Structure 1
């Protein structure tokens, strides 16, 4: 069983669909804490670090083998709280960042909220150091995309993100920084590789949970 900590309920059907396609039979327990993102956007991720740890501990109760944090804004503080949780805590965007580093040195990062830019760029730098690969990452926020997503207009958000991705010309890979942007990839015309976090993040959490269950 995996626990997933989200900051939007709109992520639940996305991860359930990925589970059904790639990990049939895996039990997912969803926790949603939108206030964590609201406050992180206003005051920075460090301001909610203690509450993120509390949310992770709550999500990890009752037989869960691992917890996946799907929000890129609070991913760094969630990862740091792993020692307080008692089970592995997977930062959902780390596998994506590792793949981006190996795809080429020029990484174009697209986001829909400003608060995710610094954590994502820091994560890319960390993965670049681990891989001993130089990178040049550039990041920008897609205007109006987040307001569309918050209003439940996932398709409208995806269209704006897809248009921004198609406008990227000087990169080796495009990274969609937030799980909420995933559906944009199917709308793009660019020939550049586009990476998003939900599928590799869920796979990493499933592997961590399986390893823990085997050891246990």
Structure 2
């Protein structure tokens, strides 16, 4: 069983969210957080550069030096890159993507940042290909909502996402591409299953391994 976990965040709001989830699901696990909002802005402006890889590698090594056994990158834009840097790292949306593909082939992806779409598409397609499944992805962007997020207006941010969620139909499952979107689920009326990454990721991380 994992006894220590580290998180790499690009928004400070995630600290409380994941602290609470780990405390609920595995209360004896110690938690360490690193918050680096500049990494996301840098990735949005310049792409996933070698400089970002170097910064992520330094953070990973520091967490490992502090005794962390597993590391979760909670930024969907950076998560795919972070996973390639060290086998102890997992992207927060991986378990959610696996659950989405298990739910159905028609998948809606909701994002407030365009930089999140490409890595989310790539993850879903890679999992589908590995499982020899054919999927259809439709994206729904709520770019104005991100302005509210940057202004620390969480209520407006989530409400704008909820409005977009209510417009979605003719899909089997809805994926919230960013961990910060989770609270929008309670604000909308939608019969289609909506998946958000925080709880799914932590539950999957601590789920007992099945015997071969």
With structure 1 as the length reference, what TM-score do the two structures score?
A: 0.90
The aligned counterpart of 2:99 is 99
CA distance, structure 2, for counterparts of residue 50 and residue 140 of structure 1: 32
Q: Could you tell me whether the CA contact under 8 Å between 1:68 and 1:205 is conserved in 2?
A: no
User: Structure 1 19/101 Cα, relative in aligned 2: closer, same or farther at 3 Å?
Assistant: same
Q: Which secondary structure does the structure 2 equivalent of 1:107 belong to?
A: strand
The aligned counterpart of 1:196 is 196
CA distance, structure 2, for counterparts of residue 157 and residue 8 of structure 1: 14
The aligned counterpart of 2:30 is 27
CA distance, structure 1, for counterparts of residue 48 and residue 68 of structure 2: 25
The aligned counterpart of 2:71 is 67
The aligned counterpart of 1:166 is 166
Q: Could you tell me whether the CA contact under 8 Å between 1:46 and 1:77 is conserved in 2?
A: no
Q: Could you tell me whether the CA contact under 8 Å between 2:140 and 2:164 is conserved in 1?
A: no
CA distance, structure 1, for counterparts of residue 53 and residue 204 of structure 2: 23
Q: Which runs of 5+ in 2 are unaligned?
A: none
Could you list the runs of 4 or more consecutive aligned residues of structure 1 that deviate by over 3 angstroms after TM superposition?
A: 204-207
CA distance, structure 2, for counterparts of residue 146 and residue 139 of structure 1: 16
With structure 2 as the length reference, what TM-score do the two structures score?
A: 0.91
The aligned counterpart of 1:77 is 81
Aligned length: 205
Instruction: Spell out, residue by residue over 1:115-138, the C-alpha distance to the aligned partner (whole angstroms, 9 max, x if none).
Output: 010000000001101222110011
